[in-house]
């Protein structure tokens, strides 16, 4: 029986081959992506960094406590913080208790809607800034409200009260100034006398002179502040004193009312420490009843583009003296004439305008990819003589890796302010990042021209 043989013809399945190629490609891509280091990217945003510190300072004014010239029940013509001239009526003394007159005067005064508005404003400010850690503020509120009630008593009511009660005596001032009805024994305090004990506020006690109360002759009747210029003295650490060593003015904020202003500043060395002295011409009346004020001083403030500090890297550049920059006669572009030796050993000159990243007072910083070590930069000086500079010196610039195009490109940054987490860099700088650029979050983890996505 003859052998029967079957011939099998192998036929290539094109679809199977294509599927296999795609499968292999996808497998390799997945493996590569799994093995690839994950590169985090962040977006450049506008930002601001403020370096500020809070202080409690002691207030120093040109002030004097004036004692009562006689005994009796006292009532005031002038409100807290009001200015009074020389020989002005300041208070009334009467031997008889003024209970009925005082009640009537207060009732009439409180009837005005403007008076209610002032009281409401005082309470609103207090409520917004109150904290349990500063419970003593409630005593200042009580005093301020009492001062408002004093102001509500008009001169005509005092005149009526004087006419209805025998023995009343009107007392006048002997000099002009701003009136206050609190005293604390620190009226003679000077900048030179401030020390840690004064600033500790541990034994401080403020006394208030209330209207319609009985005072003895020789007791404090009112206080007169003779100038709007006043000072705030704050304690400084060694580091703070170094930061403010050459500063002559500072931006400050009064914490109580969130009032911002600028004051003159100097450093005073005391017997037991270093102190900062702020001199102001405004807001003295607002804080006339306060001996201690909480303030915030801005040491540094910068606005610009905000980027993470981790994105910063350093890159080397060649330095070329600024006098070698020339303008091409044909293109009118600024650049450098670079002399180099070609592969045939011939000296050739190229005019290069690219690769110039930055300029300081002495040098241009040029890219090492556009210029080479040993190349000569030539120019013709004013005397017609050729000069040459050999490229060799290097300098570093700070920058980040921009990945807008899918791969890393170095761009310089001019840092205005830097903290541990973020820095503020200058906007609208050549060869620098711009708003909404994407940069590598950890700059040291990649290299230049690396594909990211």
**pLDDT of 109:** 44
- Domain membership of residue 394 (yes or no) is yes
Per-residue pLDDT, 385: 63
Backbone angles phi, psi at 342, to 5 degrees: -85, -175
pTM of the model: 0.61
Encoding tokens for residue 264?
Answer: 């003159």
Low-confidence ranges of the chain (pLDDT < 70): 1-12, 32-37, 98-119, 122, 126, 129-167, 380-385
**Residue 81 neighbours by CB under 8 Å, 6+ apart:** 147, 178, 179, 180, 285, 286, 288
Say what the alpha-carbon torsion angle 54, 58, 61, 66 is, to the nearest 10 degrees: 140
In this structure, is residue 336 part of a structural domain? Answer: yes
Number of domains in the chain: 2
Whether 218 and 342 share a structural domain: no
Q: Judge contact between 381 and 326, C-beta under 8 A.
A: no
Q: Does 228 map to a domain?
A: no
Q: What is the pLDDT of residues 337-373, one digit of tens each?
A: 888 777 787 878 888 888 899 999 999 999 998 898 9
Task: Kindly give the interhelix angle for 113-129 and 137-151, rounded to the nearest 10 degrees.
Answer: 170
pLDDT of the residue at 112: 47
In a domain, 161, yes or no: yes
Structure confidence at residue 199 (pLDDT): 93
**Token digits for 239?**
């580091």
Range of the structural domain that residue 393 is part of: 313-412
Secondary structure in 3-state letters for 199-257: HHCCCCCCEECCCCEEECCCCEEEEEECCCCEEEEEEECHHHHHHCCCCCEEEEEECCC
- Who contacts 107 (Cβ-Cβ below 8 Å, separation ≥6)? none
Whether 81 maps to a domain, the answer reads yes
Nearest to residue 412, comparing CAs of 270, 313, 277, 307?
Answer: 313
Mapping DSSP to helix (H, G, I), strand (E, B) and coil, where does residue 57 land?
strand
| DSSP classification of residue 3 | P
The answer as to whether 388 is a domain residue is yes
One domain, residues 218 and 329: no
| DSSP of 79-114 | -TT-EE-TT-EEEEEESS--HHHHHHHHHHHTTSHH
pLDDT of residue 38: 73
The residues facing 231 across adjacent strands are 60, 279
- Asked whether the beta carbons of 170 and 90 are under 8 A apart, the reply is no
Structural domain contains residue 80: yes
Specify if 233 maps to a domain: no
Cβ atoms < 10 Å from Cβ of 330: 6
């Amino acid at each position: 029986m003859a052998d029967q043989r079957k011939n099998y013809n192998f036929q290539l399945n094109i679809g199977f081959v294509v599927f296999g190629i795609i499968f292999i490609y996808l497998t390799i891509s997945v493996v590569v992506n799994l093995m690839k280091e994950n590169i985090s990217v962040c977006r450049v945003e506008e930002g601001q960094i403020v370096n500020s510190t809070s202080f409690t300072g002691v207030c120093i004014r040109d002030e004097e406590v004036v004692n009562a010239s006689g005994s009796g029940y006292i009532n005031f013509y002038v409100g807290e913080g009001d200015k009074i001239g020389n020989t002005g009526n300041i208070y009334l003394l009467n031997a008889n208790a003024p209970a009925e007159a005082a009640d009537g005067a207060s009732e009439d005064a409180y009837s005005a809607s403007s008076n209610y508005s002032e009281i409401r404003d005082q309470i609103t400010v207090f409520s917004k800034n109150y904290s349990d850690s500063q419970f003593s503020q409630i005593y200042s509120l009580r005093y301020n409200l009492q001062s408002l009630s004093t102001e509500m008593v008009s001169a005509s009511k005092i005149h009526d009260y004087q006419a209805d009660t025998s023995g009343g005596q009107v007392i006048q001032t002997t000099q002009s100034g701003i009136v206050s009805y609190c005293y604390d024994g620190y009226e003679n305090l000077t900048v030179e006398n401030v020390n840690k004990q004064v600033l500790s506020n541990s034994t401080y006690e403020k006394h208030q002179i209330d209207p319609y109360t009985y005072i003895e002759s020789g007791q404090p009747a009112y206080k007169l502040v003779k100038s709007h210029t006043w000072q705030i003295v704050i304690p400084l650490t060694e580091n703070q004193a170094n930061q403010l060593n050459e500063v002559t003015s500072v931006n400050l904020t009064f914490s109580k009312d969130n009032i911002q202003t600028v004051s003159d500043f100097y450093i005073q060395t005391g017997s037991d420490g270093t102190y900062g002295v702020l001199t102001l011409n405004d807001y003295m009346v607002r804080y006339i009843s306060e001996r201690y004020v909480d303030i915030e001083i801005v040491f540094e403030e910068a606005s610009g583009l905000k980027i993470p500090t981790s994105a910063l890297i350093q890159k080397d550049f060649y330095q070329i003296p600024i006098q070698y920059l020339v303008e091409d006669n044909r293109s009118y572009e600024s650049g450098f004439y670079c002399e180099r030796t070609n592969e045939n050993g011939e000296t050739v000159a190229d005019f290069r305008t690219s690769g110039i990243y930055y300029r300081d007072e002495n040098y241009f910083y040029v890219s090492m990819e556009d210029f080479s070590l040993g190349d000569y930069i030539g120019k013709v000086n004013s005397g017609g003589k050729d000069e040459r500079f050999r490229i060799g010196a290097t300098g570093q610039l700070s920058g980040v890796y921009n990945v807008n195009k899918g791969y890393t490109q170095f761009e310089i940054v001019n840092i205005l302010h830097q903290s541990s987490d973020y820095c503020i860099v200058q906007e609208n700088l050549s060869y620098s990042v711009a708003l909404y650029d994407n940069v590598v979050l950890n700059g040291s983890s990649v290299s230049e021209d690396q594909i990211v996505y």
